[in-house]
Amino acid sequence: MSATGRSGAPSPSDIRARKGGAPLVCLTAYTTPVARMVDAHCDLALVGDSVGMVLHGLPSTLGVTMEMMILHGQAVRRGLDRALMVVDMPFGAYEEGPEQAFRNAARLMAETGCAAVKLEGGVAMAETIRFLVARGVPVMGHVGLTPQSVNALGGYRVQGKGEDAERVLRDAQAAAGAGAFAVVLEKIPDPLARRVTEALPVPTIGIGASPACDGQILVVDDMLGLFADFKPKFVKRYAELDATAREAIAAYAQDVRARRFPGPEHLFGAAEPARVSAPEAAPR
């Protein structure tokens, strides 16, 4: 039995030990059925706060709550047997200080059964990461483009260009130095991602970063093509499920309107033909 309490599931320490080894395969998951599919092939399943945008139609991750993360974390936990489960700390759940972060991280772990939490930030969050790790909360870091800071960053732009590269490197080193078992590098130039990966003693997980990272992660709905009008440069589409789903729904609607569905094969018992009563004899 692993440290996660599930047979075959890696622990955060196992993930950390994969530095420089076979690439780590990671995807997001927000529901039980998708978690089951992800579990069959991935080392790590992230219940990301991207759930707010992907499933709830929010304009950003800033409106995501602890209750939402717990609800989806519980759903994903039911679908996992072998992948490490990490849950995002939502905006406002940890920035106030280490004590606040510990209370909310402990709640996430207790109520979802996750093995670790993820939080955004490097230098500014090093003290908090260190505080959590010292108290038994494994932490995954996240630097570069940090979606919860989108307003401060001026949008979803590539980070770490030019002189800004040093900031991203310092953030990554601070997160790793504080005890993070892995660090997500989001939307930074390939040369910088390679440099950070070489500098860190823990695995880097890239998303819009570099194939040189120790692993890769994508939002599962993006790589499955569930959003026809959203095609980030860093996402490879492995399917076009948006088009397939739209065609299937249209075909269903046509069949219902034409009374082709349900057919005889979908019914329980044979349909009885309507009986017409014989007219009563007219009185004489």
Binding residues for 3-methyl-2-oxobutanoate: 49-50, 88, 118
Catalytic residue among 67, 96, 99, 186: 186
Per the annotation, the verdict on 186 as an active-site residue is yes
Residue 1 is classified by DSSP as: -
Residue 209 token pair: 């970063």
Question: How far apart (Å, rounded) are the C-alpha atoms in residues 213 and 205?
Answer: 6
Reported as half-sphere exposure (CB side, CA atoms, 13 A), residue 211 has a value of 1
DSSP lists the bridge partners of residue 27 as 45, 218
CB-count exposure of residue 265 (10 Å: 0-12, 13-18, 19+): exposed
Does 262 sit behind a cis peptide bond, omega within 30 degrees of 0 on the bond before it?
yes
Which residues form the catalytic set? 186
